[in-house]
Amino acid sequence: MAWAKGLLTEEPIAVGSWASSPAVRAAMQGNRNKDTRPELRLRSLVHKRGLRYRVAARPLPELRRTADLVFSKPKVAVFVDGCFWHGCPEHLRESHKNAQFWRGKIEGNQARDAETDHLLREAGWSVVRVWEHEDPDAAAARVTSVVRGASTDHRE
């Protein structure tokens, strides 16, 4: 009925967009890149454990990579990775539409993640990667352990 009344229109795909349809483009634009439910839960639990951090910050200003939680003094960067976007070995379901594009996109994300980890470690940072499906309490305990361990290492 909405189509018949002219309330909905088919908008063309924006120039340069790789989306296969306007609906796909709209769905992609709705994906958050920060403040996701898993991130908010992890931040809350880490905060309750007494740790303070920066949110959605660059550990290395010259590197165009943003960590979800950054602990500057102990040099710990935490990334909360989505199962689809980062190719979780347990939960990734391959796309049936535009499969080659999505396979390349996810492989590119994985390569960038590996490069980010390497560059940060090379600069003296500890990197913690948490899958979105991980138990939040266990992930918070792991982050806390790494941060407190790194803080102890810096005092010696």
* Percent above pLDDT 90 for the chain: 65
Specify the CATH number for 33-155; select among 2.60.120.260, 3.40.640.10, 3.60.20.10, 3.40.960.10.
3.40.960.10
128 and 146 in contact (C-beta within 8 Å)?
Answer: yes
Spatial CB neighbours of 49, under 8 Å, sequence gap ≥ 6: 140, 144
Q: What is the rounded distance in angstroms from the CA atom of residue 111 to the CA atom of residue 27? A: 24
Placement of tokens 């009925």 in the chain: 1
Q: DSSP class of residue 30?
A: T
Which residues, in sequence order, are bridge partners of residue 126?
Answer: 76
State residue 4's pLDDT score.
73
* Percent above pLDDT 70 for the chain: 77
Tell me what the mean pLDDT of segment 123-152 comes to.
95
Residue 8 C-alpha from the chain's centroid: 33
Locate the domains of the chain by residue range. 33-155
Greater pLDDT, 79 or 3: 79
Which residue type occupies 66? T
- For residue range 2-28, what is the model confidence (pLDDT) as tens digits? 667 766 566 666 666 656 676 666 655
pTM score of the predicted model: 0.78
- For residue range 34-69, what is the model confidence (pLDDT) as tens digits? 789 999 999 999 999 999 999 999 999 999 999 999
